Structure 1
Amino acid sequence: MAILFLIIGIGSLGLSAYFFTRKKTPESLVVENIVKSNEEDFDAVNKQKGNDFEDYMIQLVGNEKGVKLVSRNSDYHKNGVSASENMEPDLKFKSNDVPFSIECKWRKSFFNEEVFFAKNYQIRNYNKYQIDRKQKVFVAFGIGGKPNFPEKLFVVPLSKIAEEYIDENEIKEYQVKTADEIITMVNQ
């Protein structure tokens, strides 16, 4: 029985070596490039949607009297290299010299009455930022419509979010229609 397993193991090793060292055909290279291109296109489309929603929030909040945009993060990440500011909220503002930040998330819709916010380590990063900087952090959820004009907008204090997924019923009370409603929350 041991000899049988030895023969199967050697055969598997030989087969692996063959597939690993064989020359790639033009057809296999085309398929590989298409798969890689589709992944890059998907990432680029998602990044653009995020940028469009951030632009929407900048225009909405930044045009309020007494509000100034302080900075916008680059969200740079490629080949394992990330900007350290990626651990911070997307947008930083001041309202009459009171600093606050907004993390922006646009989603096409709720899924099973929930929306994905962030991974647990990201939530910890945002909470650390809020504590270290002693400033309020909010999460803006644009739901439906287009990233540059969402159907619904929820601006939720970070302190009200503890999980990766947020139930629609938990954030209904934070639905806003105007920038003035957002600024009122900031100043509370």
Structure 2
Amino acid sequence: MLPILLIILGGGLLLVGIVLLIRSKPEKNESLNQVIAAVKADGILTPKEEKLVREVAQAEGKDGDLIVALIKQELEASEEDSETELIDVNAKAGYDFEKFVVQKFDKRYFDIRNWAGDKFVEGRYADTTTQPDIQLSLTLRGDSYPFAVECKWRSEPTGDFVRFANDGQLERYKAFAKQENYPVFIVLGIGGKPSDPAELYVLPVHELNKPVLHKAGLGKYRKKVDSDFFFDQKSQKLN
């Protein structure tokens, strides 16, 4: 009788053990999933987090090295997507401001000779891609007067200075003007939106010594946002 009772008791314990094992697996899986989700939440896998992932994975009988490698791969892909989105946003802002500038040159008098980047608006586009952003010419009584425009838009600048170019760009614009023997202007938009800036300035490259200006020095270059551009061929000024 006793052996039979022991067999029954052993079978019962085995059944309870199987049930507990089955129930414990989802809990462990959920624990690993929670750890992975927490690690990916901030986009950074620290050494401590990596160690934790390996320990939890090992406790569940899974390949910790593989899981860590997959997490790193996913985080790297996410970072690349974010950088691409940022580049796309900046490119769109620049393109929108260029379109704003182009539309202020009356097509009856101005021709676009080159517009960098194969860009277009209202059917107007460049045949080739060169620098600066836009090369135009004023046509009066059969004569053509060329000049070039570099477009720069800035959101509300902080501090007392406005940087309108990167280091080296200003020298490149000056070299271009000398090589082509016609003036280059930086059209600077500030605030508002790229397609509708709050302020507008026209900076003659030959008058600039640094790629940054104090806000107080911008006043003499200011232009009404709602007025069109006109190029004075005699004074070589863009108004």
In which range does the TM-score fall when normalised by the shorter chain? Answer: 0.7 to 0.9
Equivalent residue for 1:183, pick from 221, 227, 231:
231
Indicate the residue corresponding to 1:128 in structure 2: 175
Cα offsets for 1:108-164 (capped at 9, x unmatched): 112212221222321111111000111010001110111011111101101122212
Indicate the residue corresponding to 1:142 in structure 2: 189
Residues 183 and 236, structure 2, Cα contact 8 Å, conserved in 1? no
Which moved further from structure 2: 155-164 or 50-59?
155-164
Q: Aligned to 1:150, what secondary structure does the other structure show?
A: coil
Aligned-residue RMSD, C-alpha: 2.1
Q: How does 1:96-111 map to 2 (within 5 A)?
A: 96=139, 97-111=144-158
Give the aligned residue type for 1:179.
D
Give the whole-Å Cα distance in 1 for the aligned partners of 2:151 and 2:85. Answer: 21
2:208 pairs with 1:151: no
Q: Aligned to 1:74, what secondary structure does the other structure show?
A: coil
Cα offsets for 1:151-180 (capped at 9, x unmatched): 111011011222122212222111111224
Unaligned regions of 5+ residues in structure 2, if any? 1-64, 119-128
Give the whole-Å Cα distance in 1 for the aligned partners of 2:218 and 2:163. Answer: 12
Q: How does 1:28-39 map to 2 (within 5 A)?
A: 28-39=72-83
Normalising by structure 2, report the TM-score: 0.60
Unaligned regions of 5+ residues in structure 1, if any? 1-21, 76-83
Offset of 1:187 from its aligned partner? Answer: 4.2
Residues 104 and 140, structure 1, Cα contact 8 Å, conserved in 2? yes
Residues 116 and 165, structure 1, Cα contact 8 Å, conserved in 2? yes
Pair member with larger Rg: 2
Give the whole-Å Cα distance in 1 for the aligned partners of 2:195 and 2:180. Answer: 29
2:137 pairs with 1:94: yes
> Among the aligned pairs, what percent are the same residue?
25
2:209 pairs with 1:166: no
Offset of 1:184 from its aligned partner? Answer: 3.9
Q: Aligned to 1:29, what secondary structure does the other structure show?
A: helix
Offset of 1:183 from its aligned partner? Answer: 2.3
Residues 116 and 166, structure 1, Cα contact 8 Å, conserved in 2? yes
Give the aligned residue type for 2:223.
V
Give the whole-Å Cα distance in 2 for the aligned partners of 1:108 and 1:120. Answer: 19
Q: Aligned to 1:47, what secondary structure does the other structure show?
A: helix
Question: Between Structure 1 and Structure 2, how many residues are aligned?
Answer: 155
Which moved further from structure 2: 121-130 or 160-169?
160-169
Offset of 1:41 from its aligned partner? Answer: 0.7
* Greater relative contact order (Cα < 8 A, sep 6+): 1
